[in-house]
Structure 1
Amino acid sequence: MEEFIVDYKNELLATVITIITLFVLKFILSKTIRKVGSASDLNKARTRLIIKYVSFGLSVIGIVIIIFIWGVNFRELGIIFSSIFAVIGVAIFAQWSILSNVTSGIILYFSFPFKIGDRIRIMDKEIEYEGNYIIEDIRAFNIHLRNDNSELLTYPNNLMLQKGILMVNVTTNENLDESELL
């Protein structure tokens, strides 16, 4: 065991530094995402979901860095990565709508044009009910909307970015005078 530590001292030190750096980055990014979520008055479940996505991304980056630290042969690594990317490419092509909805959910989180409780109207000819909807929940793949007849509509996140959305309840600030509006 002592031989291993002596022989691979630099690699072990670099691995420890990488892991500590990734944990610090995860902490900082999680704290930042929570601040954005609370400042924008967003649902805590959405905030936790985005934090999970960021944690997964940092884990992948960490694994790649550790692979390079331990000196994997680049030819072998190229074969492994090309095989992995081929499988991922087929999976992405097969599941493009799911990935599109997850990506749209992340975009909706950070651009936060809609909040739970907002009243909206969707400009989509395929929806039979043309009235207003109240946003009940925003999830990773879809948004739950309730119409005036108490019917629940589950609407995909990617369509929220593709279709025209009319905000029915407009927040007004009566404390502003006319000079601030110009």
Structure 2
Amino acid sequence: MEEFWQLYQNEILSTLICLAILFVTRLVSIQTIKRIGRISDLNKLRTKLIVKYVVIGHSLIFIAALLLIWGVNIKDLGLILSSVFAIIGVALFASWSILSNVTAGVILFFSFPFKIGDRIRIMDKDLDSSEDYTIEDIKAYHLHLRKRNGELITYPNNLMLQKAVTVLNPLEEDGEGTEAL
């Protein structure tokens, strides 16, 4: 054990420092996201989803730091990672919309132009532009929109960033008082 400590003392100390930094930054990030969610009166499930994304991101950064600290041979690791990333790249290219919808969900969380319960009107040629929708839920990939007649529509997050969306005044039922985003 003494030999192991003397041989890898710098790596062990660097790993412990990296672990401490990971815990502190993760704690600060999670508390900040929860505070934003609480101040903005956002859905708790939506806040938990963003926290999960941050935890995964922190974990990937920590693993990369450990690989650098322990001096893993980049050439050997590069061959394995290039094969894995080639497969992942093909999968993401085939389903690019999933990635764009998740990214749009994160952007919608931090910009919070609308929230659950808001009445909106979407200027989309595929939807009736005069129709009002109530936001029932905001998921990682899509929103649940409810028409006045009770019909439920799922609408992709990335289209909410691409299309013009009007948040309607809740006091005006006929859509006269609107507030543009």
Give, in whole Å, the separation in 1 of the partners of 2:110 and 2:170: 20
TM-score when normalising by structure 1:
0.88
Paired residues for 1:100-119 under 5 Å: 100-119=100-119
Give the superposed CA RMSD: 1.6
Structure 2 match to 1:124: 124
- Letter paired with 2:142: N
Give, in whole Å, the separation in 1 of the partners of 2:170 and 2:69: 54
**How many angstroms does 1:128 deviate by?**
4.9
Structure 2 match to 1:53: 53
Structure 2 match to 1:157: 157
Which secondary structure does the structure 1 equivalent of 2:113 belong to? coil
Give, in whole Å, the separation in 2 of the partners of 1:150 and 1:52: 32
Give, in whole Å, the separation in 1 of the partners of 2:169 and 2:117: 10
- Letter paired with 1:101: N
Q: CA-to-partner distance for each residue in 1:44-85, whole Å, 9 max, x for gaps?
A: 111110010011001000000000100111222332332232
Paired residues for 1:165-180 under 5 Å: 165-169=165-169
- Letter paired with 1:157: N
Q: CA-to-partner distance for each residue in 1:77-103, whole Å, 9 max, x for gaps?
A: 332332232222112101101111100
Q: CA-to-partner distance for each residue in 1:90-146, whole Å, 9 max, x for gaps?
A: 121011011111000000000100101100011112125841011111110110111
TM-score when normalising by structure 2:
0.89
Give, in whole Å, the separation in 2 of the partners of 1:167 and 1:32: 27
Paired residues for 1:6-45 under 5 Å: 6-45=6-45
Which secondary structure does the structure 1 equivalent of 2:115 belong to? coil
Structure 1 match to 2:140: 140
Which secondary structure does the structure 2 equivalent of 1:120 belong to? strand
Give, in whole Å, the separation in 1 of the partners of 2:27 and 2:39: 18
Which secondary structure does the structure 1 equivalent of 2:149 belong to? coil
Which secondary structure does the structure 2 equivalent of 1:46 belong to? helix
Structure 2 match to 1:74: 74
**How many angstroms does 1:170 deviate by?**
6.5
- Report percent identity of matched pairs: 58
